[in-house]
Amino acid sequence: MGRLESLEIARKAVEAASDKLATDIVLLDTRGVCSFADYFVLCSAESERQIDAIRDEIIQRLKKENVMPHHEEGNSDSGWLLLDYRSVIIHIFALVQRDYYQLDKLWDQAPALVRIQ
């Protein structure tokens, strides 16, 4: 199987997050406004346990496609977990941290390709 394209990686992450009941899922096309990633996936979780479940589901789904994260930052305790797939950056937030950091507003010039409330 060939390497997944960036948009396919991002869409699989959105599907995985949705399957684990993440809320306020957004897929941003950052190619025109960001030099280090093509797409951002932002989503929220209601508990540390759910943050871990979302992370695990995304990693497992992409691993099945032979796509491994380049880097991971944060943890469920901090309320913000980042998965770096080079061209796709996935942010999993606790509700309070999502509101505090407001990445949606910071990257508001990037078109939203998917928005799932």
pLDDT at position 3 is 59
- Domain contains 25: yes
The larger pLDDT score, comparing residue 2 to residue 41, is at 41
Whole-number average pLDDT of the chain: 95
Domain count of the fold of the chain: 1
pLDDT at position 42 is 98
Instruction: Answer yes or no: is pLDDT of 33 > 80.
Output: yes
- Domain contains 1: no
Share of the chain above pLDDT 90, in %: 95
Instruction: Answer yes or no: is pLDDT of 117 > 90.
Output: no
Domain that holds residue 75: 6-116
Instruction: Answer yes or no: is pLDDT of 31 > 90.
Output: yes
In CATH, what number is assigned to the domain containing residue 103? 3.30.460.10
Tens of pLDDT, residues 60-109: 999 999 999 999 999 999 999 999 999 999 999 999 999 999 998 999 99
CA–CA separation, 42 and 40 (whole Å): 6
- How does 42-80 read in b/e, with b if 16+ C-beta sit within 10 Å? bbbbeeeebbbbbbebbbebbeeeebebeeeebebeebb
Give pTM, 2 decimals: 0.94
